[in-house]
């Protein structure tokens, strides 16, 4: 797969420039065409900064960033939608990116309608942006990022303000784009979202502390069908070691395995857990 972003020893200081304040520290990372990368970490760990660096919004202080392939055709969603919404109305805002991308005027209404529908933003196109709720603004900013058909998306906690149904709409819309080949970098605090990615990277104090698959992050070295010591701890895995909470279905799976239930798959989502339990009962 073609590399899109390659970071070598990337360093970035906070505004003070003090080494102790560094926000990215010697980061070595390559993100390739077609990947769906979930970026996780506590508040202040450097997730937004990393996305801004990849998006070319913040220059590095040290090290290198090479950008290739579809890294030049990106759609971005900022953590705070107010920092990115520019139109007075919903329609104007979602068309802004289309104008910049020189999309013919006659194509705009249909493309805008499709993008708004795909994230499930059900408001009138002439609704003033200032009347939208925080979550509706977040949906609008996701629609604005995907409307141009960008081949790479940088999404900074795009579901942080969304209700469960809207969160699902956005996840499904982004998963559909990923299935069509779009590269996705998605930062999140929500552990239940990382199972949609095919790669997880974890940051801690600006350093990369994990880089692997969701299964490795959530189940460590455990393999389906293996048994564990019933008196032992839950399965050791980077998610727990790094102090994050397991997603609920994964925690249930860990407990089932510890109780001697021979799960044949490693569920990441609630429906996969149901399927895994169902298959044991058949």
Ligand X SMILES: Nc1ncnc2c1ncn2[C@@H]1O[C@H](COP(=O)(O)OP(=O)(O)OP(=O)(O)O)[C@@H](O)[C@H]1O
Q: Is residue 200 close enough to count as binding ligand X by CB under 6 A?
A: no
Mode of pairing for the β-strands spanning 199-204 and 36-40: parallel
* Residues 63-82 interacting with ligand X (rule: CB under 6 A): 79
Pick the stretch among 47-55, 80-88, 146-154, 166-174 that binds ligand X (CB under 6 A).
Answer: 47-55
- For residues 94 and 101, what is the distance between their CA atoms, to the nearest angstrom? 12
Q: Tell me whether residue 26 or residue 258 sits nearer to ligand X (CB atom).
A: 26
Tell which residue, 41, 25, 16, has the closest CA to residue 239: 41
Write down the least CB distance from residue 176 to ligand X, Å: 26
- The residues near 148 (Cβ < 8 Å, ≥ 6 apart) are 75, 97, 98, 100, 101, 103
49 binds ligand X (CB under 6 A): yes
C-alpha to C-alpha distance for 127 and 118, rounded to whole angstroms = 18
Of residues 79 through 118, those in contact with ligand X by CB under 6 A are 79
Q: Which of residues 6-45 bind ligand X (CB under 6 A)?
A: 14-15, 23, 41, 43-45
Residue 18: phi and psi, rounded to 5, are: -70, 135
Does residue number 46 form part of the binding site for ligand X (CB under 6 A)? yes
How many residues bind ligand X (CB under 6 A)? The answer is 12
Among 47, 111, 178, 199, interactor with ligand X by CB under 6 A: 47
Contact set with ligand X (CB under 6 A): 14-15, 23, 41, 43-49, 79
């Amino acid at each position: 797969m073609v590399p899109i972003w390659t970071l070598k020893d990337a360093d970035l200081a906070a505004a003070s420039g003090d080494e102790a304040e560094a926000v990215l520290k010697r980061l070595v990372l390559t993100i390739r065409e077609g990947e769906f990368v979930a970026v996780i970490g506590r508040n202040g760990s450097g997730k937004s900064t990393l996305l801004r660096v990849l998006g070319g919004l913040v220059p590095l202080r040290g090290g290198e960033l090479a950008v290739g392939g579809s890294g030049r055709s990106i759609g971005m969603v900022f953590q705070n939608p107010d920092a990115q919404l520019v139109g007075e109305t919903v329609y104007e805002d979602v068309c802004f990116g289309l104008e910049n991308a020189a999309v013919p005027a006659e194509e705009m209404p249909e493309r805008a309608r499709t993008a708004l529908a795909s994230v499930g933003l059900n408001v009138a196109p002439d609704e003033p942006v200032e009347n939208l709720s925080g979550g509706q603004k977040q949906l609008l900013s996701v629609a604005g990022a995907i409307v141009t058909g960008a081949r790479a998306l940088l999404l900074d906690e795009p579901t942080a303000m969304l209700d469960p149904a809207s969160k699902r709409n956005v996840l499904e819309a982004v998963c559909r784009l990923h299935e069509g080949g779009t590269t996705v970098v998605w930062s999140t605090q929500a552990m239940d979202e990382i199972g949609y990615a095919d790669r997880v990277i974890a940051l801690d104090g600006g350093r990369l502390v994990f880089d692997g698959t969701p299964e490795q992050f959530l189940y460590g070295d455990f393999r389906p069908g293996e048994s564990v010591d019933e008196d032992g701890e839950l399965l050791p895995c980077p998610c727990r070691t790094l102090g994050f909470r397991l997603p609920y279905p994964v925690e249930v799976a860990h407990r089932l395995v510890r109780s001697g239930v021979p799960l044949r798959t490693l569920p990441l989502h609630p429906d996969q857990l149901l399927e895994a339990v169902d298959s044991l009962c058949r």
